Structure 1
């Protein structure tokens, strides 16, 4: 930028003003401006270290986060004058930083020291915290219509600061927050403190806490309304975790929003309490629910590879809600190297609409492995309960199966009632630190009820995950099964037990282990035992390494002859679970063959 100054001369001619040196004034100002802008770069940075002694832990951290000399010590444009000014202000800042921890008699020895050596400047502060202020009294009074409620009777006892304890601002604020939260959760949405003070007597090093809570009126749920044509109004009201006239609760509204999202019917869910205005004294809160429909049809196409299935491709269609009763149809086709399948399912919500459903399905399945071939058609119906921590259900299936096992061929028609139950104990099923999954199933058929053979099959599975040390996990798995019948040869292969494969004994092929017929072909067995132990080490947030030891087999008598597989693996941690790549050796095979296993899924 240039500056010109002109003087008016009689001849009405204008000349730029110059200094005696002959430099035009605009050039002079330009040079001054450039020097001013370059000045920070010309000033050499002064190294500075800051140390605080006499306190530790959170008190020390709060001081370092509060004193400006510590916050600015890394700046490159510090001057000696600036450092001295920051140093002079530090003692007062240290005193203020310790007050929230109950120290009100803080001294900074000699106001600290500021010295210089060959490495730079050093600010050191020796802090003498003094005697802390202790709580002498906690007085909590409750007024208002809810003062006699049970939730307000033990406020003093439950307060995080008690007599004789060091006064801490964080605990004081936490105690107040807890009281208000309890009031709000229990319908006292206008509760507030009319008195909230801490009286500190410095000389006695004592503090007195005074709180007075006015509960205000108790509020109740009013009518819940929603203008929508996605589901039937009666169905919507069955999702409500409260009834008309129940005590108002924020958590109930949050639960309603979560449950409605979980249905899969809606793309957006807005749950809005209609709080009364200042001129409305009626303690009733209506609720308005606004729902946006989800895109009904979802189509899926995919290709992939599995160690058990080989290369595969699939297409699918799912309708999230085909009518206002919440029904969901689904259809999938999968074509793979080792077999193909097509299935159709229809889900109807019942009872507790969040978790309960009636399911109807049909399945066509064609599979080949080793010297076994099966082709089956089934029609089924079931009633299921699928809560986050437990699932159970009962079903009835009609199965027609044609099969060839080794040198034997046959067909079966079975009417199979079944039941199952599963318990899951964990906070995170996708990336589990500690958790247990237990499941059991029972199914059977009888010649007296439209079945070509009689049998009863029982199976139990368990998996445990522990994190004994940081970044280390231990995983254990156990499966046992038994079939009660006269001869296993009368049962189709899909209901027999086999071992080996990605989720069984690694190092062996899919359904490679089991009893053999006279020609040496695997034909499946009446009993099953599988076990696994695995240790996993997290390398980064995304990658882990694992080592494992598996054993198991399917068998017909007490001589189980358990086969052993062991190996190493790599894990890739993704938001939906792990991608697991294992290289396993079949130790029970004299040739010690190696096999690669690839699986994807959640931990539990």
Structure 2
């Protein structure tokens, strides 16, 4: 029996997946003994005597010695699974499988019964364990049978089913159903996405694809010859990415099936002519989004303690309600909107915790928790300057768009910061709300705005030098101190010296005078100017008070009021072929003026939609050679802009008149002229108008201009270049009512280069009905559109 025990210890076993054990086979007798109890496996003394051989004496005497034959050497037992697999199965598995199982020696293939050994049979192998334990003698069999008469093996009762275990098993179980019909979308040389063909199955498909194109690591390998070994490594990363994206769009039960080199859905057009898969490594992902989850409950925490009005308003600002599609991106966007709404409702110190989303797969919903701590409502108090000698708190409060006592709004705080930057006097600004009085008895608290800034350089020196076909050579210089008279009081010195112009001026300017964007200016000047039509020299003063529109704050309504006093000695320019010197005439001119502008365009320098309209009037009195003349100068401008896809159609009309005096009673510099880059292109400045018998321009008493152009986008420089064909027409009449006798036409082509501060304009124009002294081509360069 010791031999049996040691033999079992040596039997190898091979553990497979799921905990099953593969062991070597035992004969029925060995199996029976292995199931017997220990007392049954140890034979009695008399049994040992009989097992020695058939010649044992009945009285138990010493048996006669019998020769003992040596046991046969056992066959080697396989130690691993690989040893059980024959080499033929590895070399050619398909052919090996068709051979079937070989017949066991000495066993009938039909019945499994033992067969006697014949000459044609392979030598019968002994049953496993027979070499250690021979069969018992026939006369001992009844005793063995009697010993096991009452032997039974108790069969355990099956356990009662556990509902919790079954529920867990159902969650882990993969649902197998019919796959939907898929539609292929190729997003790269090595990448294909399969989407459900039904349009309602995945409505976010287009946006999903564009987003995946930007994030895919596999798509980055397109065109990379050395990228093939990396396909498999990056395929798993893209699979995880697609899963995350499905969850981002609310498909928390979605599935991504990855296939390499064609996979189970490979088509013939993806390989060679026979439909085989192409040799180039490729990856396919089948996306089965499943049911889109929805928002469940939404909890804002302390926000619920606010009044019903504020709570309802803030919930509406968040804009997500139970039942809405569960888009993760929308949570981020609406959280930002909620923060803005808190700031706009009077809660400057409110805090919003990180959102928490709890997914319930049973309900196919996500419960969102977004704890909001309002921290009390406040109203505006004082504005406190960090450098009052430079910009006082009183001045900063004047340019703010709120008054003390108004409910706090974050946008008004930001607007104040922008207004301070727009002064040009500071390089950086920080505005910090500070609690002055807490909320009490249902009334809002009070916050002061602490303004800290760094001074910018306030002195500017600028200069320019150039040459123009109309102006000749010109040198210009300017010096300015922008805060010589705080707050925002500037002094400016300006000088021009050129072929046709000389100017010297000194002026003062105060920005934000007694209100936001209101400007007060006063200038003293002396000039000597020779234009195409006028030769004038004189001096004067001019003052204006205006509410202006600028790039940062484009206003729908702006206005200007002013006055002017001017002494000038002038005459019309001589014609090029004239040798007669016209007499000069001195004029003393005084008057007031005003303008009103309505601006509903979408941009100050580069409008693409809307309109602008300006009305200007200037009653004046002129004294010359002992006579006084009263007259009214008036002008109206209107422009309209219409976007037509990749082009903007723009049109402009201008009409002007001088009422109350004949044109020759008015100083030449105050008459009406047309021509130039902002008028009728193709002609020089003041180059359009009536002329006398010697060809000298005289100016007129009325004017009409019309312009139209198309601003067409191009792909050049990323869309920054526009091509602009244009057509202009204009007329100047001697009388105060246009008679259209001197109409001039011009046309050309322009280019606009868009920059962050506005378009740079270059127009090349030609006169269509030129006069004797008009150039065949005129070029204009400026900043901003022509109108």
TM range (shorter): 0.7 to 0.9
Mapping for residues 296-445 of structure 1, pairs under 5 Å:
296-349=458-511, 351-370=513-532, 372-387=534-549, 388-389=554-555, 390-405=557-572, 407=582, 409-445=584-620
Specify which of 489, 508, 528 is matched with residue 703 of structure 2: 528
Which of the residues 173, 178, 190 maps onto 2:332? Answer: 173
Matched residue SS, 1:153: helix
In 2 relative to 1, CA 404–196 (structure 1 residues): closer, same or farther, beyond 3 Å? closer
Separation of aligned partners in 2, 1:529 and 1:150: 57
Give the Cα separation in 2 of the matches to 1:329 and 1:590. Answer: 44
Deviation at 1:549, TM superposition (A): 0.8
Does 417-426 or 63-72 show the bigger shift?
Answer: 63-72
Q: In the alignment, is the contact (CA less than 8 A) between 1:271 and 1:290 conserved in 2?
A: yes
Provide closer, same or farther for how the CA distance between residues 270 and 555 of structure 1 changes in structure 2, counting only shifts above 3 A. same
C-alpha contact (below 8 Å) 1:432/1:465 kept by paired residues? yes
Equivalent-residue separation in structure 2 for 1:304 and 1:93 (angstroms): 60
**1:564-579, aligned counterparts within 5 Å?**
564-579=745-760
1:429-508 alignment to 2 at 5 Å?
429-446=604-621, 452-470=628-646, 472-508=647-683
Shift of 1:538: 3.6
- Which has more radius of gyration? 2
* Aligned match of 2:723: 545
Displacement of 1:589: 3.2
Give the deviation of 1:479 after TM superposition: 1.2
Query: Structure 2 vs 1, CA of residues 98 and 510 (structure 1 numbering), >3 Å: closer, same or farther?
Result: same
Gaps of 5+ in 1: 1-46, 277-281
Deviation at 1:565, TM superposition (A): 0.9
* Displacement of 1:504: 1.4
Report the equivalent of 2:762: 581
Q: Which residue of 2 aligns with 1:53?
A: 194
CA distance in 2, matches of 1:193, 1:70: 38
SS of 1:497's partner is coil
| 1:50 to 1:499, Cα distance in 2 relative to 1, 3 A | same
What TM-score do you get using the length of structure 1 for normalisation? 0.80
Residue 132 of structure 2 is matched in structure 1 by: none
* TM-score (normalizing by structure 2): 0.63
Q: 2 CA distance for matches of 1:488 and 1:442?
A: 17
> Deviation of residue 394 (structure 1)?
1.2
How many residue pairs were aligned? 551
Q: CA deviation at 1:418?
A: 0.7
Shift in alpha-carbon separation, 1:253–1:485, aligned structure 2, 3 A? same
Compute the RMSD of aligned alpha carbons.
3.5
Q: Which residue of 2 aligns with 1:559?
A: 739
Higher mean Cα deviation, 161-170 or 411-420? 161-170
Residue 48 of structure 1: CA displacement?
7.2
Query: How far 1:553 sits from its partner (Å)?
Result: 1.4
Give the C-alpha shift of residue 133 in structure 1: 1.9
Alpha-carbon distance change, 442 to 71 in structure 1, aligned in 2, over 3 angstroms: same
Tell which has more relative contact order, 1 or 2 (C-alpha 8 A, sep 6+): 1
Distance 1:51 1:59 in 2: 14
Give the 3 Å change call, closer, same or farther, for CA 492–171 of structure 1 in structure 2: same
Task: Encode CA deviations 1:303-325: one digit per residue, 9 max, x unaligned.
Answer: 12345433311111111111234
Q: Deviations over 1:234-286 (max 9, x none)?
A: 4344334445555444333322222222223334433344579xxxxx96544
Of residues 182, 185, 196 in structure 1, which corresponds to 2:344?
185
Report the Cα offset of residue 571 of structure 1.
Answer: 3.4
Gap change, CA 1:181 and 1:69, over 3 Å in 2: same
Secondary structure in 2 matching 1:452: strand
Q: Give the aligned partner of residue 417 of structure 2.
A: 257
Residues 496, 504 of structure 2: 8 Å contact kept: yes
Maintained 8 Å contact 1:91/1:112: no
Output the CA distance in 2 between the equivalents of 1:578 and 1:336. 28
- The aligned runs of 1:64-79 (5 Å cut-off) are 69-70=218-219
Alpha carbons 1:145, 1:217 under 8 Å: kept: no
Q: Aligned partners of 2:320 and 2:421: how far apart in 1? A: 40
- SS of 1:112's equivalent? strand
Structure 2 residue runs of 5 or longer lacking an equivalent are 1-187, 196-201, 263-270, 272-276, 437-443, 575-581
C-alpha deviation, 1:584, in angstroms: 2.1
Alignment partner, residue 511 of structure 1:
686
Secondary structure of residue in 1 paired with 2:628: coil
Higher strand share: 1
How many angstroms does 1:186 deviate by? 2.7
Shift of 1:156: 4.6
